Amino acid sequence: MNTYILVIYKNNLSTGRMHCVLMLLYVDLLGRHVSLLGNRLRNVLDCQLLGANCILDGDCNQLCSLEFLLALKQSHMDLYHLFTHFNNLFGWSILSTYVVLFTDSTVNLYWTQQVLAEVYDYQYLYATFSVFVPSLTIIFVFCRCGEFCKRQNELIGSYLRSLSCHPSPAREPAYNELLLEFIMQVEHNLLAINAEGFMETDNSLLMSLLAAKVTYLIVLMQFSSV
């Protein structure tokens, strides 16, 4: 009976990890598209500041055109819709996954400490390492991917503000108006991964989880010494 329960637990754990890997792939794809948009805006900024010789394989006139900026603005809005759809689709999954991984890794880290303190045999060390190391890795990678998306969105905003701070006499008035609309859009429509508004996956969440993990480990160690 215990063996059957253990097999079910391992299968569920493997399924959960595969679900986490799938979400990580989606987040990585979103981050790559945000990075591409940021690179395009960087090229536009270089053309505005350095002139037509700044890009070897691009048309500076096209990059500085109103139509190209409008296309970039629409691309950002499409990315925002993709992020919103991802958060709506996986929001509760992200929240529950973090809760499960946090609890599972904290408990297994506690048992590892107990083994190293020679409370239990060292044969249990392999079992605990096989659980909490992948859990910690998934938490770390997911937070880093979310942080990457957040940083890229901030870079997009900085590129747009740099464009607005360096006006050109050749610009059309409609270009400046569209640029201001684009800035407002980036500031209000953040490209971030969040779990139903409870938390955003970034470095601050990673540090909060590590701090909470240390707190719970101290509590568990105090109860075990009673």
pLDDT tens per residue, range 103-152: 877 777 777 777 777 777 776 667 676 767 777 787 888 888 889 999 99
Which tokens belong to 119? 């409370």
Rounded Cα distance between 178 and 73, Å, is 9
Segment 66-93 mean pLDDT: 90
Encoding tokens for residue 98?
Answer: 């973090």
- 49-79 pLDDT, tens digit per residue, is 776 555 545 567 778 888 999 999 999 999 9
**pLDDT score of 110:** 78
Given a contact cutoff of 8 angstroms between Cβ atoms, the answer to whether 52 and 169 are in contact is no
Q: What's the whole-number mean pLDDT along residues 25-48?
A: 89
The kind and range of the H/E element at 175 are helix 173-188
CB 48 within 8 A of CB 163: yes
Share of the chain above pLDDT 90, in %: 23
| Longest CA pairwise span in the chain (Å) | 79
**CA nearest to 181, candidates 36, 84, 76, 83:** 76
Domains of the chain plus CATH, in order, are 2-224 (1.20.58)
134's tokens = 């992948």
| pLDDT for 1 | 44
Structure confidence at residue 34 as a pLDDT band (50, 70, 90):
very high
CA-CA distance, 64 to 83, in Å (whole number)? 27
Per-residue pLDDT averaged across 22-32, rounded? 87
- How many Cβ atoms from other residues are within 10 Å of residue 97's Cβ? 21
> Three-class SS of residue 97?
helix
Q: For residue 188, what are the CA distances in angstroms to 8, 121, 151, 169, 185?
A: 45, 55, 15, 29, 5
Tell me the percentage of the chain whose pLDDT exceeds 70.
80
